[in-house]
Structure 1
Amino acid sequence: MGMNYFHQLGCRSTLWERASTTKLVPWALSGLDLGDRTLEIGPGYGANIAALRTRTAALSGLEIDAALAARLRARHPGRLAVIDGDGTAMPLPDNDFSAVVAFTMFHHVPTPARQDDLFAEAFRVLRPGGVFAGIDGRDTLPFRLMHVGDVCVPVPPTTLPARLKSAGFTDVEVRSNPTMFRFRARRA
Structure 2
Amino acid sequence: MIGNTNVLPVQYAVRTTVDLKTDRKIAAAIQVALVSIAVVLVGLALILDFPLSSDFSTWVTIVMTVVACFFYMVVHELTHAGFLWLFSHTRPAVMVRLPYLAVGGRGYLNTRSFLVVALAPVVVWGLILVTLLLTLPSQFFFSVYVVTILNFAGSSGDYFQAYAVAKIPSSALIQDDGRVTTVYLPAE
Larger relative contact order, structure 1 or 2 (CA cutoff 8 Å, min sep 6): 2
The structure richer in strand per residue is 1
Q: Is the structural similarity TM-score above 0.5?
A: no
TM range (shorter): 0.3 to 0.5
TM-score (norm 1): 0.32
